[in-house]
Structure 1
Amino acid sequence: MEKLHTNLLIVGGGIGGCAAAKTACEAGLNVIMTEESDWIGGQFTSQATPPDEHGWIEKFGCTQSYRNFRNSVREYYKKHYPLTESALQNPVLNPGDGWVSPLCAEPKVFLAVFEEILQPFVANGQLKILLNNIPIRAGFSGNRVENVTVAHTDTKNELRIEAEFFIDATELGELLPLTNTEYVTGSESQAETDEPSAKMQANSINSQAFSMCFAMSYHEGEDWTIERPKNYDFWRNFVPKLTPAWSGELLRLTGLSPRTLEPVHYNFVPNNEPNKAFAGLWTYRRILHKKNFQEGRYDSDITLVNYPQIDYLLGDLLSANTEEKARMIAEAKEQSLSFLYYLQTELGFKGLKIRGDITGTSDGLAKSPYIREARRIKAAFTIKEQHVSAKYLPNQVLAVPFEDSVGVGFYRIDLHPSVGGDNYVDVESLPFLIPLGALIPKRVENLLPACKNIGTTHITNGCYRLHPIEWNIGEVVGNLVAFCLENQKKPTEVRNYSQLLTQFQSLIVQKGVEIKWPEDLILAEGDPHIHAM
């Protein structure tokens, strides 16, 4: 078996993994990053999900490098695409004018920018990226990880990688069981966390649904109807078993409001929905608005489907073996295709065309499942609902302050229906901080999380799982590894000794990481909700 040695091994090439690789390489480390698919970028790319962001994102509330990344995506369009003059001159161009974010763009463009950012480190030999590789086992001794063995998904060739530090940036927290790192899955009980929204009984397999997203365009007068999915009748009649109850069959344009659990009808008007916030499903995650491009270049918008109708609720990936995972993902793919077939046939939108050229796949679906919940480390500090909930903190502008803050985030506590039978959990939050303690395992000394596997609960994972927050986490742990190696310290020592903590916080602030919210600006700006631009 081939063996390699490096300063830092990052397993998982998603948002957090890429941000960690970038900052660690900038600090002078040698890094190996592995990725299960053939695309780096995670939620942005292989999962095909435009970013969920707060309404202040253009001005404050994220790291400088994340803002640079977003601006690079806009510059890519201005350099390579036939934009209209007004789009070219727009400093906050939103290529898709989707209302989920001020930056809705194609997965392949996000991918190109990720690759552009990391290419200099690949070229100088600091960074080695191993695509199509998954972790299969690990060596550890006492409180330290010594090596991780990865295997190529096609050839099955194995490679053992030794490192001084390891980062788990996988979407499901795959390194945690392999390295014997203590973790939690599913939902905790109210007795464990004292969270108002927690259930009375813990349920380790009660994770949020995952989704197989896809892109589509619409061509009036044409027929792009796909082959009828084998189990279409099952999915067409499927009613989720949830408490409180769902509104009926999942595959229709009627669902529930996450905030009120009252029935809601979704607007769906391909190419003709109003270009404003909360207009309908077509504009929700639209990633290409044809009106931003020169006349005649595109005969349709392109939108990304990540709707409630494709939430897969029939199994928990975290407790599944390899065969069960493959079955669940295959079923989730069929569910997504069944929804498309429903739109094409029962609603009459025959011109809907699934766009594998956008997702980089032959079946038209995303390369990887869109994951909302992972294994979570048992951390030095666990973030709970009462730390961030607006209801729990009446008359406050900001969430609970943390002295060990290493970043900021803002998003509602937004839990999709879960495989354990819970309906939406939606709680208003306040602008919150990312505590360093939530990024440090209780026991293991040289493994850090950089995805949805930090020290949150099932409830607070719902607001810490978004794109800019994952980037912030990855950027911080990349810097933390470099800081620990340079100063010969453990992550716990950086957090527990005030002088080291102050030194580290000063370092990341100098590099553009915001570790506190500007309360005066928040009060001045007002409504933080997203509005399409």
Structure 2
Amino acid sequence: MGATLALQLLPPSAIAAPPRTPDQTVTCEVLVAGGGLAGVATAYEALLAGRTVCMTEITDWVGGQISAQGTSALDERQTQRSLLFYPRGYLELRQRLERYYKGDLNPGDCWVSESCFLPRDGHKVLFDELQSAAKRGKGTLKWFPSTVIKELNTTPVGAGQQIQGAIAIQHRPAPSASPLNALPLSQTIEDAYRYENSAQFQKAIVRFVPAPAKPSKSQTTQSPANAPQWYVVDATETGELVALADVPYRLGIDPRSYLEPSSSSEAGDPYCTQGFTYTFAMQATEQPQRHTEPAFYPNYAGYYSYELPRLASFPLVFTYRRILNQNPTRQEVKVQSNTGAVTPGDISMQNWTWGNDYRPGTATDNFVYTRDQLASTGQLQPGAWMGGLRTESLQRAEELSQGYFHWLVAGTTDSQLGAGVKQPQPNHRYLTGFDTPMGTAHGLSKYPYIREGRRIIGRPSWGQPQGFTVWEVDISRQDYFKDEYYRKTLSPQMYRSLQATLAGLEATSFVGSKLPSEKVTRRTRSTIYPDAVGIGHYAIDFHPCMTQSPPEQPGNTERAGERRGAGNAYPFQVPLRAMIPQKIDNMLVAGKSIATSHVAAAAYRVHSFEWSSGAAAGTTAAFALEKGIMPYQLVDQLPRAEPQLELLQRRLAENGNPITFPDTSIFNEKWEDWK
């Protein structure tokens, strides 16, 4: 569809009005777009380094996953958690949560994690941590809630390009309008991206520009005169600035290759991203509640399921992410038991694959617009950015989630397990109101939990001339050599390349044809990166898109083959090259939009990883400003030694931000012990 035709099909209100003069100009040394965990971690480290940080966030809470998105159950792996091997700011967050709840890190007594808590408290605790970091580091935090980036001013500087300014829109309720968070996001998001005031919002237009340069005694004599005066960090949930800056990125499934051998598509599919979820909170009650079936419920009733027989237990589902426990001495939940596990007053947050996961996967309903879709709808034109998301999918996800609550309390069907499994559970209520855990009048999270958005393609690099990426084979524990699927599915050349990649210390002999194919031993560790600046550890965990549109239709199935790549992963690293986009020299990426493949992204998305990548971004930005060196210059000579990179890595480690796991070495083959 051409851009002109697409714009004709849009309602007039969807096309941005010309901007008026900005209401204020704000200077920053580091501009962070996105107040989720990656954005907060970026700000935290930059503030401790004494920098002036501007941070924007579409909601009015910091914390992303643990607050505005409602997934306040820390996803952690056993070994890393037992060693408390995390970045310093993440450790401080855990300690502050424990103090806030008077010594209890898990006030919900959930069993999905060792820490489940109220989302509203996640915001309070984390904002206090940011303010403390600013005070300790003598930095300055300029916090812009309810704010979206609308435009980027990018100009050529030297051999590259730099962002010289950004225009943002901050909104507050219009006179006589409903308060913020009275309406779900689908009813406000388009308004938030328009310049003009509306019946809902009054807008303030904010122009962000670099702060005047500070002289630095440690600046290198080799630094170029065009060294940036500020850094812009995309820590948004879907890679908004990545799209606005129009840097190369991927979306959805990557083509099958020896680096991504479990891909469910030979050619790739940009429309199939992982499902996103509107969470909500529900509370157990003494007496049965009256539940009215929503008008839209029949549209979604054919989707809901406990999913697996071993999960077909309401107490199990309720306590899985229970965020407030009224009876901490209760007995352990027993799977398949329908009584005795839930106490009146308990509050549970719901995040369930065959419940409130919305999983579109076609060109007619995909949630995050591709570049071609952005171009055809005009959003890449100056001043026309509208967030890059499909509003209709947001609305349907909201309905799916509210319908899921009705299914939990009143439903008697199960799409995957059949009749006779689901029983009504009327002694529960859906929590709504500004003083409830989600802080919204409608009861849904302020923003959906995003598992996958746009993922940059890093700059051409040693070993990856098409652009740096962290691939499936870099982290997966999959035993590709014993699984006949890979031998039969991959071409002989592709399979041999896979063997060579995973041969570890035997690689030289194998590539030189001295070692027969059947004698190759698969290495038992992740890829070790010379430019590591952070760490993470989590399983490759999929919430696959659905095959047909709409995804909630009865009888629909998950995209075939999507779960093949799922499974355990080795402890992995965050390479700096994965955070540096092409084209823009003063931009860094933190969080879910770093350069990972579709399969690898399924592990590079949880809480502690987001923090580690943000800590790396904040430290790198402060370091680059101090040294007068651009991030790409820290890695452009790899695999040769990079002295400035080594200084950055040393600073990260000395500051309590690990860049490697204990005993990391190509000679260490004991990574199987990491659970």
Please state how far the C-alpha of 1:290 moved relative to its aligned partner.
1.8
Please state how far the C-alpha of 1:336 moved relative to its aligned partner.
0.9
Equivalent position to 1:355, from 431, 448, 454 = 431
CA distance in 1, matches of 2:26, 2:258: 42
Change (3 A) 1:330 1:293: farther
Equivalent position to 1:377, from 456, 469, 482 = 456
- CA shift digits 1:483-503 (9 cap, x unpaired): 000000010112235111111
Equivalent position to 2:559, from 419, 422, 439 = 422
CA distance in 1, matches of 2:531, 2:50: 25
The one-letter code sitting in structure 2 at the alignment partner of 1:131 is P
Equivalent position to 1:228, from 275, 282, 293 = 293
CA distance in 1, matches of 2:610, 2:545: 22
Report what 1:75 is aligned to: 99
Please state how far the C-alpha of 1:307 moved relative to its aligned partner.
0.3
- CA shift digits 1:400-446 (9 cap, x unpaired): 11111112211111121115652552132111111111111133111
CA distance in 2, matches of 1:32, 1:515: 26
2:304 matches 1:251: yes
Report what 1:484 is aligned to: 624
Equivalent position to 1:495, from 603, 621, 635 = 635
2:74 matches 1:51: yes
Equivalent position to 1:266, from 311, 319, 333 = 311
CA distance in 2, matches of 1:96, 1:290: 8
Change (3 A) 1:146 1:293: farther
2:152 matches 1:138: yes
Contact 1:14–1:169, Cα closer than 8 Å, also in 2: yes
Equivalent position to 2:267, from 201, 211, 223 = 201
Contact 2:69–2:279, Cα closer than 8 Å, also in 1: yes
Report what 1:63 is aligned to: 87
2:198 matches 1:157: no
Equivalent position to 1:15, from 21, 37, 42 = 37
Equivalent position to 2:123, from 111, 115, 119 = 111
Contact 1:58–1:67, Cα closer than 8 Å, also in 2: no
The one-letter code sitting in structure 1 at the alignment partner of 2:476 is S
Contact 2:275–2:359, Cα closer than 8 Å, also in 1: yes
CA distance in 2, matches of 1:474, 1:32: 14
Change (3 A) 1:192 1:231: farther
Contact 1:213–1:305, Cα closer than 8 Å, also in 2: yes
TM-score for the superposition, normalised by structure 2: 0.68
CA distance in 2, matches of 1:194, 1:468: 24
The one-letter code sitting in structure 2 at the alignment partner of 1:438 is A
Please state how far the C-alpha of 1:215 moved relative to its aligned partner.
1.1
CA distance in 2, matches of 1:310, 1:115: 28
CA distance in 1, matches of 2:95, 2:329: 18
Contact 2:253–2:263, Cα closer than 8 Å, also in 1: no
CA distance in 2, matches of 1:407, 1:348: 46
CA distance in 2, matches of 1:509, 1:189: 36
Equivalent position to 2:528, from 368, 391, 401 = 401
Contact 1:399–1:431, Cα closer than 8 Å, also in 2: yes
Higher relative contact order at CA 8 Å, sep ≥6: structure 1 or structure 2? Answer: 1
- CA shift digits 1:138-166 (9 cap, x unpaired): 11013211111111233233212113210
Query: What SS does structure 2 have at the residue aligned with 1:427?
Result: coil
Report what 2:320 is aligned to: 284
Identity percentage of aligned residues:
29
Query: What SS does structure 1 have at the residue aligned with 2:31?
Result: strand
- CA shift digits 1:57-84 (9 cap, x unpaired): 1414321221121111011010xxxxxx
Report what 2:586 is aligned to: 446
Report what 2:400 is aligned to: 335
2:233 matches 1:167: yes
The one-letter code sitting in structure 2 at the alignment partner of 1:157 is A
Please state how far the C-alpha of 1:328 moved relative to its aligned partner.
1.6
Contact 1:397–1:519, Cα closer than 8 Å, also in 2: no
CA distance in 1, matches of 2:528, 2:155: 36
The one-letter code sitting in structure 1 at the alignment partner of 2:39 is G
Change (3 A) 1:353 1:428: same
Where does structure 2 lack aligned partners over 5 or more consecutive residues? 1-21, 171-191, 193-200, 211-229, 331-342, 378-385, 412-422, 460-467, 481-501, 503-520, 548-557
CA distance in 2, matches of 1:432, 1:264: 33
Query: What SS does structure 1 have at the residue aligned with 2:44?
Result: helix
Change (3 A) 1:396 1:61: farther
TM-score for the superposition, normalised by structure 1: 0.85
Change (3 A) 1:293 1:113: farther
Change (3 A) 1:519 1:354: farther
CA distance in 1, matches of 2:345, 2:111: 18
CA RMSD of aligned residues (A): 2.5
Higher deviation after alignment, 26-35 or 490-499: 490-499
Where does structure 1 lack aligned partners over 5 or more consecutive residues? 79-87, 238-249, 256-262, 271-279, 529-533
- CA shift digits 1:111-170 (9 cap, x unpaired): 111111112466777111101011111110132111111112332332121132100111
Report what 2:508 is aligned to: none
CA distance in 1, matches of 2:305, 2:253: 29
Larger Rg: 2
2:114 matches 1:102: yes
Equivalent position to 1:461, from 601, 605, 623 = 601
2:404 matches 1:317: no
Please state how far the C-alpha of 1:178 moved relative to its aligned partner.
1.3
Q: How many residues align?
A: 483
